[in-house]
Amino acid sequence: MRDLLQKAIKTPAAPELSEIIRSEEKNGPIAPSEPESWQRSKEPEPEVVSFAPELGTTPNPFVAYLNSLHNRDASSGNALAEGQAQNPWFSRIHVAHPLANRIAKELIKEQQHVILTGHAGDGKSTIGLELFKLFSELPADKPIPRDLHREEITQSDSIKIALIKDFSEWTEEERVGIIKNAGKQNQPRTLLVSNTGTLLDVFRRIEERKNGNWIEIESDLLKTFSEATPAFFEHRGVSYLVINLAMFDNLDVAQEIFERMLAPGCWENCVACEHHAQCPIRRNVELLQKNLSVALDRVFLLYRRMFEYGDRFTLRQLTAHMAYMITSGMEYSDIIEFSNRPIAPLLCEFMFFNRFFGDNGRHPDSPALQMSVVRAVRSQEFGKRPCPRWEKRLWLRKHESDFHIEANDDIHDFDLLRRVGVKDPQFYKDPESILSARGQVRRMLFFLHKFRDSKDIFLSTFLHSPMMLELMDWRTGAGTMSIGKKDTMHRRVTHVLQEHFTGIRIPEGVSSDNNLYITLSRNAQEIRQSAQVVLAHFHEDDFDIQFESVEDGADRSQQRLVFTGTERYKSARLILELPFLDYVMMRHQGETGGQALQTAFVDRLDRFKAHLAALGKLRDRDEIMLVRLRTNHTFRRQRFSVGKGQLEVTDA
């Protein structure tokens, strides 16, 4: 059966390059010449291909293709870009990368060398393939007739361009030669695709041979790699635009890919299958298609939550996870076996709202744990924390309750799982079944329910992030925040900063003297430090919360929330990212042990503290200020100064 499936998705014999070009000439140019020849106005829609399944083969080869994208089993041949170039199914899910036009502009219009780097699976080779088709005037929605060579020389607008597919495939001498030749006259503009280690090594080799300062060059290159937007790097008179895809927010691209995976044209062949009525994949796809807007939004809320907390997945990892969500790793033979079972499993076991977590609602799918996204999702334990308002509505009523999930289709097994969750004697089995049933109902609500009320409360609880939705609203609202909300956020952030700077827990609601103190204290909150020396102090009006727009190099911008100093303290800036905002809100709600602040952000707070201490240190070296913590948790300030041989103590 596996041989038959492989035969069904086998790439057909590729046409000659000349035939492809003639087809392009017949159908019209792929890349428009106006306003610029290097711009592609819109990704061409993939041609609807009709596949008539032969007897004994899989009715829909697209399922086998999706299964080849993830590493749940050994059939992952298309997980790499090299396996995609000649695959006719690739164009059905391919999305033009937002950075492709920027790279084309730099190569052709600016005649600038470009270095494209990042993690394995970030999409470097796919961008190279996209640009090769563009410069070679090949259809963007067709497979190429051969594999790309490690170096491809193309031409556009009389500008010769060299595409170096994978720098690590070259020998050390060849790599050094490519970098040296980049500065010569009449050399092609180069798109260099490479991992960061290879780049660091080749520039170091060149500097060592010329007795140059390789440490400075390496430092400059590492600084360029860490930039969130494309940045320029100069080396011996040659300029390179360096783009690190690992720093690029790829969730918008992943969302378009997921939508293409669910496009109706990819699933037309399922109708002719004799097992389509019992097929869990077809049922899963229909559920997603009918609830696409809500489901898509909720799926990518979870991805965004993980992204904001530092789990930045590559496009390869996201594509693998999305493909698994759709198929559960099932092949045609599995569907036949499923259809012939005397007692079929619950359909919900194969639905995306369970497979997102790498399980069937009860037990983990062990092979799926190989996927990094699944492991990260499971470590977060999304949906495990109950939402009291909704728990009462779901479980503290009889099973005859009129509550129904509001979605665009009948959600199989929802009522059954609710009855198990409320311990209906007819369905009750054991405590473990109750827990799994309740967990699945929460998942169904999160991914599919159209909330009329208490939406933010339930979603925030499921996400383990009280500020996630509010932050997304601020960003999409072009960086707008009401004056009242801004004042409240300012007060709460200052409260948490004061706790961190002094090492003292201050109860929420305690009246403040409107000052922020930087003190000399031990880094230990378990030790009471009621009297501390003040290194610097600020009034709350010395700070403000602002939005700033950040460009990503692909004509996209995002609003970022910043706690910044005013007037002479403007250089003091603290970016308020989601983990810190969640921590601030949890401290306000009294969850002292609920969620610890990430180590990386603690280090950032310490740097912010050091910067403030340097800006606001006391000018009079003969004066010392102390703050004492009163029993009502407010601070008492005292000044100690020496004058005319006397010690003077005053309340400040």
Q: Tell me, what's the pLDDT at 397?
A: 59
Q: What's the Cα-to-Cα distance from 483 to each of 192, 545, 548, 560, rounded to whole Å? A: 48, 11, 17, 17
Which tokens hold the place of 627?
């703050």
DSSP state of 426: T
Q: Tell me, what's the pLDDT at 600?
A: 76
Which tokens hold the place of 432?
């473990």
Q: Tell me, what's the pLDDT at 33?
A: 36
Q: Tell me, what's the pLDDT at 299?
A: 98
Residue 497 sits at φ, ψ, to 5 deg, of -60, -40
pLDDT-flagged residues of the chain (< 70): 1-57, 73-83, 397-402, 428, 478-479, 511, 523-528, 592-596, 617-621, 652
Which tokens hold the place of 396?
């503290």
- Beta-carbon contacts of 289 under 8 Å, excluding residues fewer than 6 positions away, are 262, 264
Q: Tell me, what's the pLDDT at 482?
A: 84
203: enclosing H helix or E strand: helix 196-209
How far, in Å, CA of 436 to CA of 442, rounded? 10
Domain positions in the chain are 2-247, 258-464, 474-651
Q: Tell me, what's the pLDDT at 79?
A: 52
How far, in Å, CA of 444 to CA of 437, rounded? 11
How far, in Å, CA of 174 to CA of 179, rounded? 9
Helix 315-327 crosses helix 280-290 at what angle (to 10 degrees)?
Answer: 110
Q: What is the pTM of this model?
A: 0.86
Longest dimension (CA), the chain: 105
Residue 569: half-sphere exposure toward Cβ, Cα within 13 Å: 26
Residue 406 sits at φ, ψ, to 5 deg, of -95, 105
Q: Tell me, what's the pLDDT at 398?
A: 56
> Residue 215 class from Cβ within 10 Å (0-12 exposed, 13-18 middle, 19+ buried)?
exposed
Q: Tell me, what's the pLDDT at 103?
A: 94
